[in-house]
Amino acid sequence: MNTETLTASEPSSRQAHRISAADAADMLLRHRDGVLPALAVFDVRDENSYRAAHIDAAIRLAEATFPQQIRGLNRTTPVLIYCYHGNASRTWAQWFADFRFPEVYSVDGGYPAFSDALATRSAGQQGTPVAGMDARADLLAFLQTHGFDPFDLNAPRQHGLTALMRAALAGHEGVVDALLACGADISRRNMDGNNALWLACVSGNAAIVRRLVQAGIDIDNRNDMGATCLMYAASAGKAEMVALLLECGADPQVLNFDDARAVDLAATRSCLQLLRHTIG
């Protein structure tokens, strides 16, 4: 790439990150729903391939247009880049990282995988109506109080929170149970990429954590910064939550985007003791 007229302001050690096609689809759908305020999607395949088919809203990126695109893009904007199979996009993603874009992701599997994942996730976004006369009064009251649509339990509201996330954050065990019984989507993530389990950990409600894990929620979900619930609990000094997550099967060896594990983030001695077996 010719960068004679466009150079990084200073040497950067930032690294671009690889992202699964499913997670890329999740980010794009959250952006379309208004949950993720900004997102740039770039297609780095050849022009004919782009014209034949591309991800909706993706902009074709080439060496000739890179300087223009990078100048016009706010550095706080998350960037998704895909190619044919997920190889060339990693080089492009690193170029963005070299210019100090903190959230740059190369999509594993390229366009075919991204397109398939997007179709699969889009098909699963149908509204989930609450069962009419059998709907619990406390659930309906909760939905009304927080402005959620009873005919689309998965529709996000402020900060990208779904009804399930809001109930988990508030510690409403009965409402969480009712939402799970009505088929609320446990895979949804908010504007930061956190699922309902993270919100349950924030509230510190062990019963809700157990219910969500039993329902099959991704206990090792990494948010948009690569952090898991276990990392959050350790960094917040929530020793009881750290112990519970480990009991439920959380993986303490997962790395965030800074290559740190939960043990590296432990804020208290009690949290460190719970995670010391992961050292070495």
How many Å apart are CA 280 and CA 268, to the nearest integer? 19
C-alpha separations of 74 from 39, 55, 100, 137, 228 in Å: 10, 21, 11, 46, 27
Residue range 17-123 forms a domain whose CATH class is alpha beta
C-alpha separations of 81 from 29, 78, 170, 200 in Å: 15, 10, 37, 32
pTM here is: 0.67
Q: Which strands form 79-82's sheet, in the order they lie side by side?
A: 17-19, 104-107, 79-82, 40-43, 59-60
How many Å apart are CA 154 and CA 259, to the nearest integer? 32
* Cβ–Cβ under 8 Å, residues 217 and 200: no
Enumerate the active-site residues: 83
Other residues' Cβ atoms within 10 Å of the Cβ of residue 37: 12
Residue type, position 47, single letter: E
Two tokens at 69? 């695109």
* Cβ–Cβ under 8 Å, residues 86 and 3: no
**pLDDT tens, per residue, the chain with 280 residues:** 544 444 444 434 456 688 889 889 988 988 888 878 899 999 999 999 999 999 999 999 999 999 999 999 999 999 999 999 999 999 999 999 999 898 899 999 999 999 999 988 777 555 555 554 355 788 888 998 998 888 788 888 888 899 999 999 999 999 999 999 988 999 999 989 999 999 999 999 999 999 999 999 999 999 988 999 999 999 999 999 999 999 999 999 999 989 999 999 999 999 999 999 998 7
Two tokens at 135? 């709907």
